Amino acid sequence: MQRVAAEPLDILRTRTSAKWRSFPPDVLPLPVAEMDYPLAEPIAHALHAAVDRSDTGYSSGSRPVAEAFQGFAATRLGWDVDPARVTCTADVSLGNVEVLRRVTQPGDGVVITSPVYYPFFDLLPEAGCAVVDVPLLGGIDEGWSLDLDGIDAAFAAGARAMLLCNPHNPTGTVPDAPTLAALADIAARHDVTIVSDEVHGPLAQPATPYTPFLTVSDAAREHGVAVTAATKAFNLAGLKTALIVTASDRGDRVRAAMPYEVEWRMSQFGAIATIAAFREGGPWLDGVLASLDDNRRLLADLIADELPGVGYRMPDASYLAWLDLSALGWGDDPAAYALEHARVALANGPRFGAIAGRGHARLNFACTPEVLAEAVTRLGDARVSPVE
């Protein structure tokens, strides 16, 4: 497999995105979920061609993107998507909020599963909902899983929806089909909605492919809405485009109830880039997955050598490592210590859940092996004795 090589620091520091403008130049920035790989050539070509023809007007709607995704989903994800059941919008977070607004009433509880992508804690209030946290079961040693009994109890107590992270960020866990089918049965029993954020799905490793929620059962298709994008897999976060996908009349009514402007928030360049990614980006994505596989394994070796006692479980999807740094004695928020004393920026663990994230941090390993090694070496050099 031909790997895609990440770009060197001198090139990366010319970028103006958040990852490269949020920290001083002596800091290795590994918190933001942006990859350091060069843009896939088919995407770059499509964007350059759009500029050459001054194609900078409004996007032409969901259908072209939906049709490109239909082919990608069928060949890579085993997912039969009907383009007529897709509404595009600006990004996955916005899509999650708009779906939740349609399926809940103000003040309704919505289940999330900490440690979880920290904007979820803000998206629910934005949608007018209350956070109902049902933490994942397990941990780094044994792996994580959904607490199905806890989720069932939360719905029985009145929660009206769940915002599912599939695959899970930050743990990199990929729920299997039986687990998702059981979750769908619980949703059907309580007549609630599962909003499945699947933006990391195409970044699942081949040995642990992700299962799109809408594929697992009739109950999932009836009670589920999927929100996804090319943005994580192809590093297009700044080119605002996402897809809201349904597979039932019930789901279609959710999309139909959305304001007209939801679809018009999609970016023209985002649509162009997303179509190119879904149609022609497969070989590049395969190379990125191979490079990420190398790096997740390298990280395990580096931690064993430089940071003994730090907990790390290789993620099955994406490029984010969830680290238990408690043994280092760096407090509840070890990312703050790492930034000050190691000049390595990590994502702050407690933001992913005040209890589940305590003593943890998230590290982005979509970088060169040299940057990854330097980051772990710096962290190792900053070790202190554990707090008594």
Look at residues 245, 262, 280 and tell me which one is the last residue of a structural domain. Answer: 280
123 lies in the same domain as 229: yes
375 lies in the same domain as 301: yes
29 lies in the same domain as 48: no
Q: What is the structure's pLDDT at 256? A: 97
- For the chain, the average pLDDT equals 97
CATH number at residue 59: 3.40.640.10
DSSP string computed for 110-178: EEE-SS--TTHHHHHHHTT-EEEE-PPEEETTTEEE--HHHHHHHHHTT--EEEEESS-TTT-----HH
115 lies in the same domain as 256: yes
What is the span of the domain harbouring residue 264? 44-280
Domain count, the chain: 2
341 lies in the same domain as 265: no
CATH number at residue 289: 3.90.1150.10
Look at residues 242, 265, 280 and tell me which one is the last residue of a structural domain. Answer: 280
388: in domain:
no
1: in domain:
no
Q: What is the structure's pLDDT at 77? A: 97
196 lies in the same domain as 302: no
Percent of the chain with pLDDT over 70: 99
Neighbours of 21 (CB within 10 A): 10
Q: Angle at the Cα of 14 (from 270 to 347), degrees rounded to 5? A: 75
pTM value is 0.96
- Please choose, from the candidates 182, 130, 172, 127, the residue with its C-alpha nearest in 3D space to the C-alpha of residue 154: 130
Q: Are 223 and 187 in contact (CB under 8 A)?
A: yes
87: in domain:
yes
371: in domain:
yes
171 lies in the same domain as 236: yes
94 lies in the same domain as 15: no
What is the per-residue pLDDT across 119-175, written as a single tens digit (0 to 9) for each?
A: 999 999 999 999 999 999 999 999 999 999 999 999 999 999 999 999 999 999 999
64: in domain:
yes
**For the chain, where are the alpha helices, taking DSSP H only?**
9-12, 18-21, 41-52, 63-72, 92-103, 120-126, 148-156, 177-190, 218-223, 249-256, 260-264, 268-280, 282-306, 334-342, 369-381
Which residues is 143 bridged to in the sheet?
Answer: 139
pLDDT < 50 regions, the chain: 385-388
2: in domain:
no
- The pair phi, psi for residue 225, each rounded to 5°, is -135, 130
Q: What is the structure's pLDDT at 388? A: 39
171 lies in the same domain as 299: no
35 lies in the same domain as 132: no
4: in domain:
no
89 lies in the same domain as 156: yes
346 lies in the same domain as 237: no
Look at residues 263, 280, 297 and tell me which one is the last residue of a structural domain. Answer: 280
Q: What is the structure's pLDDT at 384? A: 59
55: in domain:
yes
